[in-house]
Structure 1
Amino acid sequence: MQVSFKIFRQQPNSTPSFQTYTLEVEPGNTILDCLNRIKWELDGTLAFRKNCRNTICGSCAMRINGRSALACKENVGSELARFSHGADTQIPEIIVAPMGNMPVMKDLVVDMTSFWDNLEAVDPYVSTSARQIPEREFLQTPEERSRLDASGNCILCGACYSECNARTVDPSFVGPHALAKAQRLVDDSRDDTTEARLEKYNQGTQGVWGCTRCYMCNAVCPMDVAPMDRIGEIKQEILERKNAQASRSIRHRKVLIDLVKQGGWIDERKFGLYVVGNYFRDLRGLMSLVPLGLRMLAKGKFPATFEPSEGTLEVRSLIEAVQASEQ
């Protein structure tokens, strides 16, 4: 069958555009197979990264039909089945573009400097400086090793970083790839700097609190690392060590849980006062809420009362059961 490949093209210091190539392909052909054919048979100037062709190295990550994926993993049949095409479309089309959140160097090749720099920022190496056992291996039990399975599957392809909305709006955020690696070190029984790591990952929006939980990193990860879940595990470790006075980010999470336990859902009247106003301790925070409060009152959107949900007791028991199991 014939398929059109609409490919993003850009030379240094030039305006980007899309160029379309038509190939006779089979449904089982991977997108990388097709890109190779375009380069070898139609246009030798097309630039893209590749290496193993077997979902191992992560080199061929790019945006395929609007989402970041590995070109060697996705095939023509699955891509065409993923989207419905209009009746007037005689030849189905697959759109290929470079990854996001990184500047384009040429065509589908991006500059991954920020990706690697942010990975380095979380110090992704096991520290054993406090264990002076030079003639022995640091052995782990199967249970200890199993805690590292998910994060250990990361191949650093950059798909999660490309789709990270938090990274798009906040350049200080290190990204889901870095924090997934960070979680591996937090859970690694051989590492002796857990407390220092948690303090580092707890710093402002560049650490775990910068994650907006949009789920995009989980959705596009080709290795099922689930970076958002790994970030959540680091948050939980921090929350277990900190009280509500430690920071607004920690207070946000603790207040949310407490209010849901009390009423089945969030009492919006209390949420801002407790989080931003720090339980009436932060005068500046309270004053910052006044303009919003006045606008809400003027528009009749400030609830005068709060009614707990019908399932409050069930919600409370579920939260307490989860908390008990974690302890």
Structure 2
Amino acid sequence: MQVLFKVIRQEQNSPPQVQTYTLDVDPGNTILDCLNRIKWEQDGSLAFRKNCRNTICGSCGMRINGRSALACKENVGSELQRLQQIAASATTSDTVRNTSDIIPEITIAPMGNMPVIKDLVVDMHSFWDHLEAVEPYVSTGARQVPEREFLQTPQEREKLNQTGNCILCGACYSECNAREVNPDFVGPHALAKAYRMVTDSRDFETESRLEKYNQGTQGVWGCTRCFMCNTVCPMDVAPMDQIGKIKQEILDRKDAQDSRQVRHRKVLIDLVKEGGWIDERRFGLQVVGNSFRDIKGLISLGPLGLRMLVRGKFPLGFEPSEGALVVRSLIESVQSLESQPTSDQY
């Protein structure tokens, strides 16, 4: 079948342009196969990265029809089927379109959150620099074990499996909304590796690591929980889940007075536990104003409060949800389970 490939091409520091290529392909051909054919048969100047062709090296990361993926993993058939499902969900029952005469299109673009060097090749310096910032290697003290190997139990090693699957392809970093607005945020790839160090029984720097990952919005509190990193990860590392685990480690060690980020999470849980949902009147005062301890925080709430009053969005009363008792019992049950020691703690 014929497929039209729209490739977003760009030279460094120049505007992007769309160049189209038509190929006769089989549904089982990977996107990387098609790019190779374009380069070998039609346009030798097209630039993209590749290496293993087997979803191992992570080199061929790029945006395929709007979402970051590995060109060696995605094939033409599944990609066109995905596009058809998207189109079908967006089409109303009253709209009938005859697509039998239309050549299907696949759009390929460079990854996001990184400057383009040429065509589909991006500059990944920030990606690697932010990975280095979390020190993703076992601490020096842990490596100085004399005259024997540093043994781990199967249970201890199993904790490293999911994060150990990361191939550093950059897909999560490319789609990270937090990175798009906050260049200081280290990114989901770095924090997934960070959790690997936090949970590694051979590492001696857990406490100092958690303090570092707790700072401002550079670390875990910069994550906006948009789920995009989990959605695009080709290896099911689930970076956002790992970030959540680091947050929980921090919350277990901190109280509400340590930082606004910690207070935000603890106050949210307390208010939901109390009323079944959040009492907005108390939430801002307790989190930003720190229960009237933070005068600057209270003053900063003034303009927002006035706008809410003018637009009728400030709740004058608070009605607990009908299921408040159920919500409270669920939260207490989870907290009780979390407080119990696990088998590997004995």
Shorter-chain TM-score: what band? over 0.9
Whether 2:275 is the aligned partner of 1:267: answer no
Measured in 1, the distance between the counterparts of 2:179 and 2:142 equals 34
After superposing the two structures, state which structure 1 stretch, 4-13 or 228-237, moved more. Answer: 4-13
Q: 1:212 aligns to what SS in structure 2?
A: coil
Decide which of 210, 215, 224 is 1:198's aligned counterpart.
210
Aligned to 1:87: 98
Q: Which stretches in structure 1 are left out of the alignment for 5+ residues?
A: none
1:49-91 CA deviation, whole Å, 9 max, x = no partner?
0000000000000000000000000000011000136635610
Q: 2:3 aligns to what SS in structure 1?
A: strand
After superposing the two structures, state which structure 1 stretch, 25-34 or 283-292, moved more. Answer: 283-292
5 Å-filtered alignment, 1:246-285, equals 246-285=258-297
Measured in 2, the distance between the counterparts of 1:231 and 1:80 equals 33
Measured in 2, the distance between the counterparts of 1:134 and 1:24 equals 62
Decide which of 107, 117, 120 is 1:105's aligned counterpart.
117
Q: 2:69 aligns to what SS in structure 1?
A: strand
After superposing the two structures, state which structure 1 stretch, 214-223 or 284-293, moved more. Answer: 284-293
Aligned to 1:233: 245
After superposing the two structures, state which structure 1 stretch, 304-313 or 175-184, moved more. Answer: 304-313
- Structure 1 residue 131: Cα displacement: 6.6
Measured in 2, the distance between the counterparts of 1:103 and 1:234 equals 29
Q: Which amino acid in structure 1 is aligned with residue 322 of structure 2? A: E
Measured in 1, the distance between the counterparts of 2:142 and 2:31 equals 48
Q: 2:141 aligns to what SS in structure 1?
A: coil
- Structure 1 residue 5: Cα displacement: 0.4
Aligned to 2:63: 63
Q: Which amino acid in structure 1 is aligned with residue 287 of structure 2? A: V
Check the 8 A contact 2:10/2:119 in 1, yes or no: yes
Check the 8 A contact 1:10/1:16 in 2, yes or no: yes
Aligned to 2:225: 213
Measured in 2, the distance between the counterparts of 1:275 and 1:214 equals 22
Measured in 1, the distance between the counterparts of 2:312 and 2:285 equals 19
Measured in 2, the distance between the counterparts of 1:223 and 1:106 equals 27
Q: 2:112 aligns to what SS in structure 1?
A: coil
Measured in 2, the distance between the counterparts of 1:172 and 1:274 equals 27
Tell me the C-alpha RMSD between the 2 structures. 1.2
Check the 8 A contact 2:162/2:236 in 1, yes or no: yes
5 Å-filtered alignment, 1:296-311, equals 296-311=308-323
Measured in 1, the distance between the counterparts of 2:143 and 2:102 equals 66
Measured in 1, the distance between the counterparts of 2:194 and 2:131 equals 9
Instruction: Give the paired residue count.
Output: 327
Measured in 2, the distance between the counterparts of 1:38 and 1:131 equals 48
Measured in 2, the distance between the counterparts of 1:325 and 1:30 equals 46
5 Å-filtered alignment, 1:8-47, equals 8-47=8-47
1:141-199 CA deviation, whole Å, 9 max, x = no partner?
01111111111110000000000000000000000000000000000000000000000
TM-score, structure 1 length as denominator?
A: 0.98
Check the 8 A contact 1:128/1:190 in 2, yes or no: no
Measured in 2, the distance between the counterparts of 1:63 and 1:307 equals 46
1:203-262 CA deviation, whole Å, 9 max, x = no partner?
000000000000000000000000000000000000000000000011000000000000
Q: Which amino acid in structure 1 is aligned with residue 337 of structure 2? A: S
After superposing the two structures, state which structure 1 stretch, 232-241 or 142-151, moved more. Answer: 142-151
Q: Which stretches in structure 2 are left out of the alignment for 5+ residues?
A: 88-96, 340-346
Decide which of 164, 167, 172 is 1:155's aligned counterpart.
167
Q: 1:62 aligns to what SS in structure 2?
A: strand
Instruction: Check 1:53–1:70 CA distance in 2 against 1; reply closer, same or farther (3 A cut).
Output: same
- Structure 1 residue 274: Cα displacement: 0.3
Q: 1:91 aligns to what SS in structure 2?
A: coil
